[in-house]
Amino acid sequence: MSPRPDKIIIRQKYLDKALSFKGISLIKVFTGQRRTGKSYLMHMVADAIVKMEPDAHIIFVDMELMEFATLNTASDLYAKVKSRLKGDVANYLFIDEVQEIDGFEQALRSLLNEQLVDIWCTGSNASVLSGELADRLSGRFIEIPVHSLSYTEFIEFHSLNNENNSLQLYMKYGGLPNLIHLPFTDEVVFDYLRTINATVLLKDVVKRHEIRNVAMLEKLMRFLADNTGSLFSANSISKFMKAQGQMISVAILTNYIQYALEAFYLVKVQRVDLQGKKYFETNDKYYFEDHGLRNAWIGYRPMHVNKLIENVVFKHLVFNGYRVFVGVSAEYEVDFIAAKDDKKLYVQCAYLMESEQTRQREFRSLLTIRDNFPKLVVTMDEPAGGNIEGVEHWHLRDFLSRDW
C-alpha cells in the first residue's frame, strides 16, 4: 500500500458520498485538479473500509512512486493487480493518477468484468472520463469531483475560529489542503502556490498537449486571474493581447483555455437567460478552482476583493453540488443561478453596500425574478442581514459557513 499520510483530517462530506458506492460494481473515479486532496481521500476511504471489514485486502497503486514506474500499459497494470490479489477476502484496488497509464481503461474494464476487485481511482484530467473509458464503460463508472477546501474545511484544517481574520486568510491563500504543513506567511505560501501553478500547467497542460509557447500560456493565466469573473470570449482576449503587442490566434487561445478546463484548473460558467430556457454560446465567465492559485499569479490585491468574493461564492456553490450559471435578462445580470435537483438559488455578489444607490443596484436584478426560490445578496458588510421584498442580505462569512 502507498505510504499513509502522517495526518488525515476527515473530509466527511466526500467520505460519506464515496462510501455510498462501496461494493457497487462501478469504477469510482475521484476527479479534480492536482493537490486538492484526492489521494488523501482515497486513504480515508481505505481506512474506513478496513474499519468496517478488518479482513479487507487493500491494493494501492500510486503512480508517483518509483515502485510503480514500470506500469506503463494496461497489461502492466492488469498483471500487477492480479499478482497482488488475495483469495477468500474482499479485494479493494486504489489507483492514484490513473491517467498516467496508457490504455488504463482496458485493464479496469477487465477487472470490473471479472469482479475481482472493488475499483477506486483518481484522475487529474477530464480526459479520464472521456474517450475510451466513456465508450467502453458507459454507465459503469461514477465520478466524484473533489475540490480544494471549502471555508469550513479550511478553518477546521487550520484550527481557526470562524471570524473575519480567518476569512481573510482563506481569501488570500485559498484552500489547498497541503497548506496545513506550511507557516502562514506570504513568502512561504505564495512560493508554494507558484510551484503548484507550474506543476499543474507543466504536467497537465504543457506536457500533455506538447505546448511550445509556454510564455503565452502563462500570460493567458495572468490575464484570466486579473479578469476573474469578467465576461469575455477567446476572440475578445485575442484582441486584447494584440493591443498589448502579443499576437496569438483565437484558435490557440481556445485550445489553451480548454486544456486548463480539462485539468480542472479553471471552470467555465455559461450564461443563461433568467428563465433558464436559453443558453448563450459566447462571453462566458471563468473562475479558478482554487482562488489562492489565482492570487499567486498576480498577487493578493485588496482592490480585487469583488473578484475574490465571486470566486469563493462560486466555489462554495459547486462544493454544495450545484450546477452554476450566470443569469441574464434584457436589462440585468445575476451573478449566479445555482441549480441542484429541484432546488435553485439566485446569488448576487458585492463588496460593500456603501450607499442606498449601491443597495438598490445589487438588489434590483433579483427583485425582477418572480419565482419562490431563495434570492441572496452576499457582501462583506458588518452586520449584514435583513431583506428587501424577500431578497436576503448575507455576510460572506455566514454564507460560506452554511451548507445550502
CA distance 229 to 22: 38
Q: Specify the DSSP class assigned to residue 73.
A: B
CB distance 96 to 2 below 8 Å: yes
What pLDDT does residue 389 have?
Answer: 86
* pLDDT number for residue 382: 82
Alpha helices in 86-136 (DSSP H): 104-113, 131-136
The grid coordinates of residue 56 equal 479487507
Task: Count each helix (H run) and each strand (E run) in the chain, helices first.
Answer: 16, 13
Alpha-carbon gap, residue 179 to 292, rounded angstroms: 11
User: pLDDT value at position 247?
Assistant: 86
Contact 266, 289 (CB under 8 A): yes
Residue 60 is inside which H or E element, if any? strand 57-62
**Which of these CATH numbers, 3.40.605.10, 3.40.630.30, 3.40.50.300, 3.30.420.40, describes 12-145?**
3.40.50.300
Cβ atoms 34, 204 nearer than 8 A:
yes
Q: Within the chain, what is the greatest distance between any pair of CA atoms? A: 72
CA dist 297 to 17, 176, 202, Å? Answer: 33, 15, 15
What is this structure's pTM? 0.92
| Per-domain boundaries in the chain | 12-145, 151-400
CA atoms within 13 A on the CB side of 266: 23
- C-alpha separations of 247 from 224, 256, 260, 297 in Å: 17, 14, 20, 21
Which three cell numbers mark 123? 484522475
Query: Is-contact 127 103, C-beta < 8 A?
Result: no
CB contact at 8 A, 362 and 388: no
Grouped pLDDT means (10 residues each) for the chain, 404 residues: 62 96 94 93 95 96 89 95 95 92 89 94 78 67 95 96 97 97 96 95 88 92 94 88 87 94 94 77 90 96 91 97 91 92 95 84 89 94 81 96 95
Distance from C-alpha of 336 to C-alpha of 327, rounded to nearest angstrom: 6
- β-bridge partners, 393: 377
176/162 Cα distance (integer angstroms): 18
Q: Which cell numbers in the block locate residue 404?
A: 445550502
